[in-house]
């Protein structure tokens, strides 16, 4: 879900993204234990945006790795 108050997540480092997800999860659990359902909903919206960016990055990295493996296989097959 889009949140206009969030920065462009594609511009932050992966380490920062992971750290922010951890922080948001901690805040979510604190809010949940305190009975703050509305706050939990707001945190969840932001958390899902960060997780979606994380999934996108993982998918991109996987495609890149598969492509590199394909190129390596082609090189090995030509060398044999």
pLDDT at residue 21 tops 60? yes
d(CA 66, CA 72): 10
Locate tokens 């960016």: which residue? Answer: 53
- Number of other residues whose CB lies within 10 A of the CB of residue 50: 21
By three-state DSSP, how is residue 31 classified? helix
Please tell me which residue, 67 or 15, carries the higher pLDDT value: 15
Does the CA dihedral 42-27-18-13 come out positive or negative?
positive
In tens, the pLDDT along 28-80 reads: 999 999 999 999 999 999 999 999 999 999 999 988 888 777 766 666 666 65
pLDDT of residue 49: 94
pTM of the model: 0.78
d(CA 44, CA 1): 10
pLDDT of residue 6: 85
């Amino acid at each position: 879900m889009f949140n206009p108050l969030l920065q462009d997540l594609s511009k932050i480092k992966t380490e920062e993204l992971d750290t922010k997800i951890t922080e948001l999860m901690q805040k979510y659990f604190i809010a949940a234990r305190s009975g703050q359902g509305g706050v939990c909903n707001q945190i969840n919206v932001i958390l899902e945006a960060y997780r979606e960016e994380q999934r996108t990055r993982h998918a991109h990295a996987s495609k890149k790795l598969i492509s590199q493996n394909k190129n390596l296989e082609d090189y090995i097959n030509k060398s044999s």
